[in-house]
Amino acid sequence: RKGTAVITGASSGLGLATAKALADTGKWHVIMACRNFLKAEKAARSVGMSKEDYTVMHLDLASLESVKQFVENFRRTEQPLDVLVCNAAVYQPTAKEPSFTAEGFEISVGTNHLGHFLLSRLLLDDLKKSDYPSKRMIIVGSITGNTNTLAGNVPPKANLGDLRGLASGLNGQNSSMIDGGEFDGAKAYKDSKVCNMLTMQELHRRYHEETGVTFASLYPGCIATTGLFREHIPLFRLLFPPFQKYITKGYVSEEEAGKRLAQVVSDPSLGKSGVYWSWNNNSSSFENQLSKEASDAEKAKKLWEVSEKLVGLA
Ligand code: NDP
């Protein structure tokens, strides 16, 4: 049978390119879990995916109710779940004030981390039930976790501190930042990606042996053309792609990045659990090192426990 992969945020950028790459193999049915149904449907058609290769299902990660509803709706389809890809993200680098999810969490961490945290915890049960030979859960990370690169060291740097802002609700009353500091949209995004990478490792430690599920994260390269940068100032949007192409040489096309993530979904040679994948300039994959904070097991455990409380799992 075909594998079934759920991809969040498959209506543009990396998620769409990955959906397309998987559909093109003829071996996958992709559930595009998206907040904008019409946009996702149009996107799938625009890249030439054929009807039988995908299903669009509604998921708004900025609402925990929507996450639960998605899981129910997915279960009602009675399809197996073989791979989950947590890909969707918001990035608000120029926001002066925080905005908030339905439950009142700062939106970058609320969407990118807490929404995916609940989704992955709920869908782990479905993954366990699958009889697919290689079951995987992938959480897309970012270069923020690499200390061995220039881009990973550009300020404002991620820093979760002692998680005091998160523990106090991340709701703007006490703090809208995980470390309890002043709001900074770019930092909130980077913090959320560190949470993604810590969560992947904690899932690996808690569930890999018991379930056989492979947990992985990755940095697909700098895809300077995606919608992620839509809220940046126009001059940045103009200069960023050539800067990445010619100066840092970290640039990858959406198509290439989609192929990379599709490898993490299905390539037998990328089946190791607990790994953060990256690619060399010649497009060969390797197991990358994470920064000190993004591989801090104690912090991962604390993050897990605080996040469980916030999403109502504890
Ligand atoms: P895009 O903005 O193109 O894609 C983000 C996707 O997330 C969109 O489909 C968007 O939906 C969706 N999304 C946003 N908010 C929600 C929500 N509340 N509920 C459901 N879906 C939502 O960006 P990219 O493709 O670049 O980003 C994809 C992933 O890649 C992210 O995890 C990002 O952190 C990561 N990444 C990107 C890099 C890059 O250089 N671009 C580098 C490293 C990592 P909609 O279409 O409706 O807006």
Give, for all 314 residues of the chain, the pLDDT tens digit: 999 999 999 999 999 999 999 999 999 999 999 999 999 999 999 999 999 999 999 999 999 999 999 999 999 999 999 999 999 999 999 999 999 999 999 999 999 999 999 999 999 999 999 999 999 999 999 987 666 667 777 788 899 999 999 999 999 988 999 999 999 999 999 999 999 999 999 999 999 999 999 999 999 988 888 888 777 888 888 888 887 777 777 788 999 999 999 999 999 999 999 999 999 888 899 999 998 899 999 999 999 999 999 999 98
Dist. CA 309 → ligand 1 center (Å): 26
Distance CA 288, CA 37 (A): 35
Q: Is the CB of 36 under 6 A from ligand 1?
A: yes
Q: Is the CB of 93 under 6 A from ligand 1?
A: no
Q: Is the CB of 219 under 6 A from ligand 1?
A: yes
Q: Indicate the top mutation candidate among 18, 112, 191, 223 to test ligand 1's pocket, ranked by most ligand atoms within 8 A of CB.
A: 223
Q: Is the CB of 87 under 6 A from ligand 1?
A: yes
Q: Is the CB of 278 under 6 A from ligand 1?
A: no
Dihedral sign for Cα atoms in the order 67, 180, 295, 91: positive
Dist. CA 228 → ligand 1 center (Å): 6
Residue 264: closest CA among 33, 87, 146, 144: 87
Q: Give pLDDT, residue 68.
A: 98
Dist. CA 80 → ligand 1 center (Å): 25
Q: Is the CB of 175 under 6 A from ligand 1?
A: no
Structure tokens at 266: 């299905």
* Active site (catalytic) residues: 189
Dihedral sign for Cα atoms in the order 64, 66, 68, 71: negative
Q: Give pLDDT, residue 148.
A: 61
How much is the CA Rg of the chain, to the nearest whole Å?
18
Distance CA 256, CA 251 (A): 10
Residue 83's H or E segment, with its range, is: strand 83-86
Pairing state of beta strands 285-287 and 275-279?
Answer: antiparallel
Cβ-in-10-Å burial (0-12, 13-18, 19+) of 205 comes to: middle
Dist. CA 140 → ligand 1 center (Å): 10
Q: Where are the beta strands (DSSP E) in 116-171?
A: 136-140
Q: Is the CB of 135 under 6 A from ligand 1?
A: no
- The SS3 assignment for 277 reads strand
pTM of the model: 0.97
Q: Indicate the top mutation candidate among 8, 32, 35 to test ligand 1's pocket, ranked by most ligand atoms within 8 A of CB.
A: 35
Q: Give pLDDT, residue 145.
A: 63
Q: Give pLDDT, residue 255.
A: 96
Q: Give pLDDT, residue 42.
A: 98
Which atom of ligand 1 is nearest to 43's Cα? 46
Distance CA 236, CA 76 (A): 44
Dist. CA 210 → ligand 1 center (Å): 31
Dist. CA 256 → ligand 1 center (Å): 16
Name every residue whose Cβ is closer than 8 Å to that of residue 104 and which is 6 or more positions away in sequence: 169, 171, 172
Structure tokens at 222: 């700098």
Which atom of ligand 1 is nearest to 63's Cα? 18
Distance CA 123, CA 71 (A): 7
Q: Is the CB of 138 under 6 A from ligand 1?
A: no
Nearest CA to ligand 1 atom 23: 228
Q: Left, alpha or beta for 13 (phi > 0: left; psi -120 to 50: alpha)?
A: left
Q: Give pLDDT, residue 147.
A: 61
